Chain A
Amino acid sequence: MSMNEKLKNIIIEDLNLEDITPKEIIDDDPLFGEGLGLDSLDAVELVVLVQKHFGVEIKTMEEARPAFQSIKSLADYIEERLAA
């Protein structure tokens, strides 16, 4: 399973997203607002789940801003950090 797919499954499960399947999430769609429709409070869960499932910490706004653009950017960020 690719990192993108893994992330989609984890996000749906941990955030209890209803009425949406991993297939319906487009890799490049924004996570917040239009797209997946998450809000700033969901970012709390997002930061914690990335830490819990991948051991990757997102600590600064400089890291978060590009990483939280989309599923793809978050998956890339995690893979980069895991490879480092």
Chain B
Amino acid sequence: MKQRDEISERDHPKRKWTSRSIGSSFQHGIFYFLVRTGGQQAAYFLLYIVVFYYALFSLNARKKTRYYLSHRFGSRTRFEKFKDTYLMILGFGKVLVDRAIVGILGPEKMNVRFQDREKLLELLDKNQGLILMFSHSGCWQVAMSSMGLINVPVNMLLHHEEGDVDRHYFEHTGQPAPYKVIDPRGYLGGVLEMINVLQEGEILCVMGDRVMGSDSNSVSVDFLGESALFPYSAFKLASATGVPVVVLFSYKTGPAAYEMEVADIIYAPENIGRKGENYRPYVTRFVQVLEKFTRDHPYQFFNFYDMWE
């Protein structure tokens, strides 16, 4: 156990971000109750009020949204700042409600259009694994719910911590997870499991915009006008196992509609070496498509910590 703890601690020092939920378990429960009894409309009705309150009175909520919004929009008037904060929190709240709808009322309640599905199937037909790179944009869980249509096991690198009270969509029904969770706090950051699933031709889902381990596993790349740290671990895995990294974005297009798109397919060649610098071109390519996403969908990138620090 000692070795595990030492490696875990070294690779996971104090993170700048947390996966802890906004709101208490009770408050989330109210929304789940509304979804069950009144559907999306009832839950959205309460959401508009709660978000208005948060945007107006919660200094903490305003502060947490400003990190991203100030980089995305630059100088803004007071009213514009309020509007930006309101729309960003509202967008995030809707995603949480929609996620609960998929879990409680079923995936058929959400229309997910995946225009690039054939591209993904073509890659999977080659019987090689692939890395699906998500980011904190749109609703990856709604996207995951439509992954059931793809007949290949899906694995998710997921950090779940105490205080994370909002449920994953499958937890509402008490069903087992439709994907296998790989914990990055496990022995050697879960890399053994990740290599295994990729070599078995399975899908590994990772977040491309969040540093899971230490800062040393990241490179600094310009994002929205200033340097920010992004992880390169996925590209190292891709290089070592010869699988592509498929950048997948999901975004809300209507009250009960989401779109998924393959924004890029990135191949990291073999033998790039162990230095993070060597992976910068591939990380930069991901960051460029992420930046384009924030231009197209400014209120659907849900970053609530200072990644530029």
Contacts and interface: CB of A to CB of B under 8 A. Distances in A.
B308 to A, nearest CB: 24
Contact of B213 (A15, A16, A40, A64): A40
A61 B10 CA distance: 18
A44 interface: yes
A65 B191 CA distance: 12
In which size bucket is the chain A interface? 20 to 34
Contacts of A69: 3
A15 B196 CA distance: 20
Contact of B192 (A17, A42, A43): A43
Interface in B1-59: 3-4, 6-7, 10-11
B300 interface: no
Contacts of B99: none
B237 interface: yes
A2 interface: no
Interface string A45-60: 1011000000000111
Contacts of A58: 192
A65 B195 contact: no
A77 B274 CA distance: 24
Nearest to B195: A47
B236 A41 contact: yes
B216 interface: yes
B217 A43 contact: no
B273 interface: yes
Contact of A39 (B3, B11, B186, B273): B11
Nearest to A48: B240
B236 A39 contact: no
